[in-house]
Amino acid sequence: MKLYFSPLACSLAPRIALYEAGAEVSYVEVDLKAKRTEDGADYRAIHPLALVPALELEGGELVTENAAILQLIAERFPEAELAPRDALGRARLKEWLSFVGTELHKALYSPLLSAEAPAEMKAYVLTKAGSRLGRVADRLEGREFLLDRFSVADAYLITVLNWSQVTPIDLAAWPAITAYQARLQQRPSVARAMAEERERYARALKRREEPAAAPAAPAPSADR
Is 93 within 8 Å of 147 (Cβ atoms)? yes
Among 29, 56, 154, 223, binds ligand GSH (CB under 6 A): 223
Closest CA to 66 of 185, 224, 204: 224
Which CB, 32 or 136, lies closer to ligand GSH? 32
Query: Using CB under 6 A, which of 4, 66, 100, 200 touches ligand GSH?
Result: 66
Q: Does 10 bind ligand GSH (CB under 6 A)?
A: yes
224 makes contact with ligand GSH (CB under 6 A):
yes
Rank residues 187 and 224 by Cβ distance to ligand GSH and give the closer one.
224
Q: Does 65 bind ligand GSH (CB under 6 A)?
A: yes
Q: Does 52 bind ligand GSH (CB under 6 A)?
A: yes
CA distance 193 to 174: 24
What is the distance, to the nearest Å, from the Cα of residue 115 to the centroid of all Cα atoms in its chain?
Answer: 19
The mark string for 96-135 relative to ligand GSH (x by CB under 6 A, - otherwise) is: -----x----------------------------------
**Cβ nearer to ligand GSH, comparing 107 with 191:** 107
When the beta carbons of 71 and 181 are compared against ligand GSH, the nearer one is: 71
The answer to whether residues 146 and 154 touch, using CB atoms and an 8 Å cutoff, is yes
Q: Which is nearer to ligand GSH, 51 or 80 (CB)?
A: 51
**CA within 13 Å, CB half, 174:** 25
The footprint of ligand GSH (CB under 6 A) covers 9-10, 32, 50-53, 65-66, 101, 223-224
